[in-house]
Structure 1
């Protein structure tokens, strides 16, 4: 398997990841009923965030924490939500990519989830 090397790799990964999230009843309602995301319009933002986080390219400037705190005000996130999110994220990476960037992305995802839990629960 190849490593995550391009924006297209990240977009592919996000599509795979969201296909898992949107079909998992433990978490899909947050995206479909609460956030009401349109994946096609949301995908460039997701790709921007991860491209900057992993490949150090781009200029993502949104406040990811605030976006999720606002969403948490509508539906309370639980430990299960974070566990499911992280499991699908890691599975999507492990099923499609291998290498230093893939490992970096999994580490960053764990960091993002951990910080969000701390900030949202306090």
Structure 2
């Protein structure tokens, strides 16, 4: 039986698995290798802080993800298909490692975030 997400280390596991899949993905991987050149240690730290705050209300995240994604969209148009692939990979990463209320909450929040991003950018 899989455990639920319970701390920062669990979130890091999800992020590592997710971005491993993203980097290799033919639909969205190029955003992270060709459209922008990602500083992976910084990006991973930022994403872990974002999700830790989203799940556990730590207040550790500072940033403006909508502005960041608007900038990315100016560099290369993001489409509903890109967001759908992002969701598919994200849910697979969560489901591959964890199950429970926090895992469900992470997937639900990711869907809400994707919907807002598509609307705002």
With normalisation by structure 2, the TM-score equals 0.96
Output one character per residue of 1:41-92: Cα deviation in whole Å (capped at 9) or x when no partner.
2100000000000121142120111110011000000111000000000000
Partner residue, 2:6: 5
With normalisation by structure 1, the TM-score equals 0.95
Question: Per the alignment, in what secondary structure is the counterpart of residue 22 of structure 1?
Answer: helix
Superposition misfits of 4+ residues, deviation over 3 angstroms: none
Unaligned runs of 5+ in 1: none
Shift of 1:34: 1.1
Question: Per the alignment, in what secondary structure is the counterpart of residue 37 of structure 2?
Answer: coil
**Structure 1 Cα separation of the partners of residues 83 and 66 of structure 2:** 14
**Structure 2 Cα separation of the partners of residues 75 and 23 of structure 1:** 18
**Structure 2 Cα separation of the partners of residues 39 and 81 of structure 1:** 20
> How well do the aligned residues superpose, as a CA RMSD in angstroms?
0.8
